[in-house]
Amino acid sequence: MNKIRRIVTGHTEEGKSTIVSDAEIDGVSISTGKHFIQLWGNDSIPVHPDQGVMSPNLDWFPQGGGHRFFVWVVPPQSQKENERKSKDEIEQLLPGFLKHFEPDNPGMHTTDSVDCTYLISGSIVLELDDNQEVELFAGDSIIQNGTRHRWHNRGEIPAVLITTCIGSQRHN
């Protein structure tokens, strides 16, 4: 999955609905088989009528009030990782992505967002604190409320997921 067709609607100056764009969106790979395609996002609450334009230069995860919509692919753990991007390359491809990850605990991360995820194909394990795990299968969904977590694909095929992240605020 290297590209996905994205159709965006918006409004004309007269307030009529219209197709603003119809394009194929390229994804990025950060290691062998680990692929991300950001389809939409903004860092503010949408106001309509609008022109159907995505904000430029967005961090991967949204700020409070913002949102992201993306597809991502996690290869099976058994798949050999032949190529892995450097931290600088990942930061360039997925701005702000790595700052949410724990440097001493690979894969574990926390975001200030509500993540609504649907597993399209494959299976994947979500690990939370205290090694609590739940396995998801194609057709399952999960709502994460700013929880610390990491993902494991212990299956035989890539897991393909689609997520909408809604930026939230964290009170400590």
Domains in the chain: boundaries: 27-167
This model's pTM is above 0.75: yes
C-beta neighbour count of 41 within 10 angstroms: 20
Angle 155-84-58 from CA coordinates, rounded to 5°: 95
**What pLDDT score was predicted for residue 172?**
78
Q: What are the E-state strand segments in 13-169?
A: 17-26, 28-31, 34-42, 67-74, 113-121, 123-127, 133-137, 141-145, 150-152, 159-167
Residue 1: its pLDDT value, please? 67
Q: How far apart, in Å, are the Cα atoms of 139 and each of 73, 121, 142, 159?
A: 15, 7, 10, 11
CA dihedral 150, 129, 110, 45 (to 10 degrees): 100
Output the pLDDT for position 110. 96
Can you read off the two tokens belonging to residue 127? 């690990």
**pLDDT of res. 82:** 67
Of 142, 102, 101, the residue nearest 119 (C-alpha) = 142
**Which residues share a beta bridge with 8?**
21
pLDDT at 45: 87
Give the pLDDT of residue 46.
86
Radius of gyration of the chain (CA): 17
List the chain residues with pLDDT less than 50: none
Residue-level pLDDT at 138: 98
Q: Report, at the CATH architecture level, how domain 27-167 is classified.
A: Sandwich (2.60)
Per-residue pLDDT at 47: 85
Identify the pLDDT of residue 51. Answer: 81
Say how far apart CA 77 and CA 150 lie, in whole Å: 13
Distance CA 129, CA 132 (A): 6
